[in-house]
Amino acid sequence: MSIRMYDLAGADPAVRFSPYCWRIRMALAHKGLTVETIPWRFSDKSAIAVSGQGAVPVIRDGETVVHDSWAIAEYLDDRYVDRPALMDGAQGKALANFARHFSQTVFAPIAFKAVMLDIYNAIDAGDRDYFRQSREARVGKTLEAFAIGEDEARALLKPALAPLRALLQEQAFVNGDAPAFADYCLFGGFMWVRGVSRKQLLAEDDPVYAWRERMLDLFEGLARKAPAVGA
């Protein structure tokens, strides 16, 4: 039986744009596991109440329910230990943890400013009041006052991504010669942008752009084929 995953969806239910859900979509493909995704909206708290909290991803694997992308990755490596590892030992786990914190503290704050209005426009009408109120409370401004344009986002991201760029000038993937969970943690952020926005936050000659292209091609183009506002 397939694993089922609650997956944040836009107004178009085919558009899936959660960076955390994308980490797990890629992780499941890495493990060679099939998944049935269930479109989920911010307002569907009751659908995932069984997980004891209110955010996706949530997976159900037989009788087991797991939430939080980090906990799900650990679960998948523990439960499916004979399949390719997402995090190969203690140092591999530390690498994924550094990569996810880099994504969340360096990439996401800049990208969020660039795409927050695009997210607002892409989500279901029933989610918009929740999104505006929760995000405006978090940033202390209206979405419109907080948003930045594509050029400003690119100018901010270019120096901010310097360590990632230096790494990807030397190796094909964050995890080394082959992708694994550190890559999926970072790539989830780029799929968030792609899902809702036509903004292109990387220059085409950036090694990070070339890595993103390689990630889009993995697993027979799983991410590239996914319906999205951007490309």
Tokens 């084929």 correspond to 225
Q: How many helices (H) and strands (E) does the chain have?
A: 10, 4
Pick between residue 189 and residue 230 the one whose CB is nearest to its own copies: 189
Does 227 contact its own copies by CB under 8 A?
A: no
43, 104, 121, 200: which one contacts its own copies (CB under 8 A)?
Answer: 104
Residue 56 · residue 40 · CB < 8 Å: yes
Does 88 contact its own copies by CB under 8 A?
A: yes
Query: What minimum distance in Å lies between the beta carbon of 89 and its own copies?
Result: 6
Residues 147-176 that bind its own copies (CB under 8 A): 162-164, 166-167, 170-171, 173-176
Does 69 contact its own copies by CB under 8 A?
A: no
Cis check: omega of the bond before 159, within 30 degrees of 0 = no
Does 139 contact its own copies by CB under 8 A?
A: no
Which are the contacts of 164, defined by CB distance < 8 A and separation ≥ 6?
102, 174, 186, 208
98, 120, 146, 219: which one contacts its own copies (CB under 8 A)?
Answer: 98
Distance from C-alpha of 230 to C-alpha of 212, rounded to nearest angstrom: 13
63, 78, 177, 220: which one contacts its own copies (CB under 8 A)?
Answer: 177
From 8-16, 86-94, 144-152, 208-216, span contacting its own copies (CB under 8 A): 86-94
Distances (CA, A) of 112 to 19, 126, 193: 11, 21, 8
What are 229's two structure tokens? 């506002």
**Residues within the interface to its own copies (CB under 8 A):** 87-95, 97-99, 101-102, 104-106, 162-164, 166-167, 170-171, 173-178, 180, 182
